[in-house]
Amino acid sequence: MKASAVWLLGVVLVPFWALAQAPANLNTITGVQVNGGTVTISGSKKANFTTFTMTDPPRLVIDIAEAVFSGVPEETQVGNGTVTGIRTASYGSDDSAIARVLIGFEREVETDIQATDTQLVVKVVGGGGQAVAQAPTAQPEPAAKPTTDDGTAAKAAAAAEADRQAQEKAAAEATARAEADRQAQEKAAAEATARARQDADAERQRQQEAEARATSQREDEQRAAQAAADEKKRQEEEARASAQAAATERKRQEEEARASAQAAADERRASAASSEDERKRQKAEALAAAKTAAEEKRAATRAAAEEAAEARRQREEEARAERERRQQERVAAATPRPRREVASGSDSSEVSSRRKTMTLVGFQQQAGVSRVFIRTNEPARYTVSEQGNAVVLELENSRIDLSNNTRPLDTSYFNSPVTRVEADASGRDVRVTIQLRQQAPVQAKQDGNVISLDFQRPAR
């Protein structure tokens, strides 16, 4: 019965989980051997242990801290007269793991425990020889003597009955004690299991709190990284905007410089052409003065003939121009024009019938207005009309002398309603188209050989 109680205690002490593999920092118990009254527990390093004893039946409990079992059976039956059996159990986890070895004995014994580098040796003091249970030697019963004493027989029967009842009472008390021991052991096992569960729950809670702290830290780091990225992006955008503004300002200045240079170059070309004409004229006069009288007479005759021919040519050209103008007026009168005339200038009495030459198209920013100006070699008749977001200036009976004057002027980078100015020949007229951002008031005037169109700039 004592042996059965030992095994029952071992069963209830086995936890509901098992450690399948020991962490590297734990003591791994790989064997428990019994040799007579000596029990040897082998591990991976020196054992750190505590012990306590239990009675009825006699037991020695060894708890090895920070240790787990590997390949050790949970139950080993011995029955060598000293050791009844070995039970093993594990509980706890990680660094709190405990490996328990329970040694059951046949009787109350004294033990000596020695710990070496990797072994724990438990010896029963006084040796552990095989215990032999001997039955009492059967003695021959004396032969019954015949008697006639009935009273003596009755007393013997009563004594036998009393012994039987005492034995039954002792057996019942032993059974009650065993049941009480079993219940106490079950209670201890339940308490140990509850403590193990509490330890496991505490460990899980600690891990969850650590994971929550790690998650919070990661989120803080991610927010900090995102803030740094946003700041970097903002600085890059500001740098790009500054660079773009600087590039726009540079381009505007370059356009103004090109426009000024173009105007100066046109002025220089016109001045050079006038000087060349004057030089040629003076040279011709000097050569004519050096010629003989006869040559002067022939030159005068030739000049008279040429003048007469030029006069005839001019009259014919003026007549042809007049016919074309009248024809255009008839066509214009018969065809409706989708535009609104804004202004016209130069009375016919002030303008010759010779065909005019447009020599320059320019653009200037003045106080409050943006000016588009057109220069001709002499006053010309013109009209100004609006066509949607464009203003069109038409120079009658005119032409363009240089192809460079047909190149468009891009003024979109200026603070001006004017975005583009372009001149081209249209029949015997010159057409100057001025594109606008939106419709704006325009004022046209002619001063000598220059026609100016002033567009009012919007307030910033």
- Looking at residue 23, its pLDDT comes to 59
CATH of the domain at 64: 2.60.40.3500
Q: Are residues 66 and 28 in the same domain?
A: yes
Q: Are residues 104 and 19 in the same domain?
A: yes
Q: Are residues 177 and 326 in the same domain?
A: no
Tell me if 378 sits within 8 A of 388, measured CB to CB: no
Q: Are residues 408 and 274 in the same domain?
A: no
List the structure tokens of 299.
Answer: 């030159």
Q: Are residues 202 and 321 in the same domain?
A: no
Q: Are residues 106 and 46 in the same domain?
A: yes
- Looking at residue 211, its pLDDT comes to 93
Q: Each residue of 180-235: pLDDT tens digit?
A: 878 888 898 789 888 988 988 999 999 999 999 999 999 999 999 999 999 999 99
- Looking at residue 346, its pLDDT comes to 59
Distance CA 279, CA 293 (A): 24
CATH of the domain at 393: 2.60.40.3470
Distance CA 430, CA 394 (A): 6
Residue 272 in domain: yes
- Phi/psi at 164 (nearest 5 deg)? -65, -45
Tell me if 43 sits within 8 A of 28, measured CB to CB: yes
Q: Are residues 109 and 195 in the same domain?
A: yes
Residues in the chain: 460
- pTM, full prediction: 0.30
Residue 381 in domain: yes
CA distances from 227 to 221, 222, 231 (A): 10, 8, 6
Residue 151 in domain: no
- Looking at residue 345, its pLDDT comes to 64
Number of helical H runs and strand E runs in the chain: 3, 22
Q: Each residue of 65-80: pLDDT tens digit?
A: 999 999 999 999 999 9
Distance CA 393, CA 386 (A): 9
CA distances from 392 to 338, 341, 423 (A): 12, 9, 10
Residue 135 in domain: no
Residue 136 in domain: no
Tell me if 83 sits within 8 A of 34, measured CB to CB: yes
Q: Are residues 327 and 347 in the same domain?
A: no
- Looking at residue 115, its pLDDT comes to 95
Task: Average pLDDT across each block of 10 residues of the chain; the chain has 460 residues. List them in order.
Answer: 44 41 78 94 95 92 95 94 95 86 94 94 73 35 50 84 87 84 84 87 93 94 95 95 93 94 91 86 82 76 81 79 68 49 57 91 93 95 93 95 91 94 92 94 94 88
Question: Which residues sit opposite 82 in a β-bridge?
Answer: none
Q: Are residues 266 and 382 in the same domain?
A: no
Residue 171 in domain: yes
DSSP 321-339: HHHHHHHHHHHHHHS--SS
Q: Are residues 449 and 419 in the same domain?
A: yes
Is the alpha carbon torsion for 18, 22, 27, 32 positive or negative? positive
Domain count, the chain: 3
Q: Are residues 304 and 173 in the same domain?
A: no
Distance CA 51, CA 412 (A): 98
Which candidate, 63, 62, 68, 88, places its Cα nearest to that of 26? 68
Q: Are residues 186 and 45 in the same domain?
A: yes
Q: Which domain holds residue 80?
A: 2-125+164-209
